[in-house]
């Protein structure tokens, strides 16, 4: 009886045919370009060790991550992990407020004994500078992508995946966390160059304006 479920004298049973169709259809589903939460599918990735389809996704925060198809389609995974960190940050801030702790200290001081950044680092000004830099270079949906990532401007590997590396460089090269808004901004020395330690500095609005591409064109002409 069990064998009959899979094959008849005339060929495969209807049960087996339907199962084969489901397998084939699963392989044919292309979710490139679709959005799942904060993730936009860029392309098909490698197959996982357990034979599952993996998809390369770009998160709204600028991070690139690989996710299994079923995790995206089922809603299990909605971001690169930033959504969880932000949710944890809110909980941490609520807890800090409840017990009278300071949630707005310098990120450098907010480390665990293992050196990891605590959740409320996502509220720091410098962390916002870092994520904004990744957005305009990596996210085609970002408003100013055309002037950065669209022109081929990239972020060095040292900074791309490591906020602590960016943070260390920032404080060692003049970043002022207490400066008025707009008075200490990240500036590329070569406006056609990438974001890297050798091509970046902290500048005021006057320096930024003088270093714009249109300003340089006027000087040349």
Statement: residue 135 has pLDDT above 50 = yes
Q: How many CB atoms lie within 10 A of CB 54?
A: 15
- State residue 121's pLDDT score: 46
- State residue 166's pLDDT score: 93
Considering only CA atoms, which of 120, 119, 124, 153 is closest in space to residue 136? 153
- State residue 82's pLDDT score: 85
pLDDT tens for 139-175 read 888 888 999 999 999 999 999 988 889 999 999 999 9
User: DSSP character for 111?
Assistant: B
- State residue 98's pLDDT score: 55
From residue 21, alpha-carbon distances to 14, 72, 119 in Å are 10, 22, 46
Give residues with Cβ within 8 angstroms of 193, minimum separation 6: 153, 199
Percentage of the chain beyond pLDDT 90 is: 28
- State residue 112's pLDDT score: 39
User: Cα separation of 117 and 62, whole Å?
Assistant: 18
Percentage of the chain beyond pLDDT 70 is: 66
pLDDT tens for 2-54 read 444 445 555 556 666 666 655 555 555 888 889 999 999 998 888 877 778 88
Domain boundaries, the chain: 124-221
* Residue given tokens 């990120």 in the structure block: 107
Confidence band, pLDDT 50/70/90 cuts, at residue 114: very low
Confidence band, pLDDT 50/70/90 cuts, at residue 70: confident
User: Cα separation of 142 and 112, whole Å?
Assistant: 33
Could you tell me which residue, 187 or 116, shows the higher pLDDT? 187
Residue pair 159/138 in contact (Cβ under 8 Å)? The answer is no
Strand locations in 45-103 (E): 54-59, 64-68
- State residue 102's pLDDT score: 46
Residue pair 39/72 in contact (Cβ under 8 Å)? The answer is yes
pLDDT tens for 85-109 read 777 666 656 655 554 444 444 444 4
pTM (2 d.p.): 0.47
- State residue 47's pLDDT score: 82
Could you tell me which residue, 51 or 191, shows the higher pLDDT? 191
Q: How many CB atoms lie within 10 A of CB 69?
A: 18
Considering only CA atoms, which of 121, 122, 138, 127 is closest in space to residue 195? 138
């Amino acid at each position: 009886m069990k064998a009959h479920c899979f094959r008849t004298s005339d060929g495969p049973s209807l049960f087996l045919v339907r199962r084969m169709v489901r397998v084939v259809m699963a392989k044919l589903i292309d979710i490139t370009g679709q959005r799942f939460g904060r993730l936009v599918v860029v392309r098909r990735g490698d197959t996982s060790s357990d034979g599952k389809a993996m998809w390369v996704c770009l998160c709204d925060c600028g991070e690139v991550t690989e996710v299994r198809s079923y995790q995206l389609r089922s809603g299990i995974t909605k971001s690169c992990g930033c959504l969880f960190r932000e949710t944890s940050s809110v909980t941490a801030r609520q807890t800090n407020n409840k017990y009278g702790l300071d949630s707005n200290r310098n990120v450098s001081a907010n480390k665990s004994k293992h050196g990891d950044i605590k959740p409320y680092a996502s509220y720091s000004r410098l962390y916002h500078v870092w994520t904004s830099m990744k957005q305009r270079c990596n996210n085609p949906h970002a408003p100013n992508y055309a002037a950065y990532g669209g022109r081929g401007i990239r972020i060095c590997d040292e900074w791309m995946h490591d906020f602590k590396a960016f943070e260390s460089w920032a404080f060692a090269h003049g970043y002022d966390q207490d400066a008025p808004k707009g008075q200490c901004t990240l500036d590329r020395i070569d406006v056609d160059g990438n974001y890297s330690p050798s091509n970046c500095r902290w500048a005021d609005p006057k320096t930024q304006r003088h270093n714009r591409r249109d300003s340089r064109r006027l000087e040349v002409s």
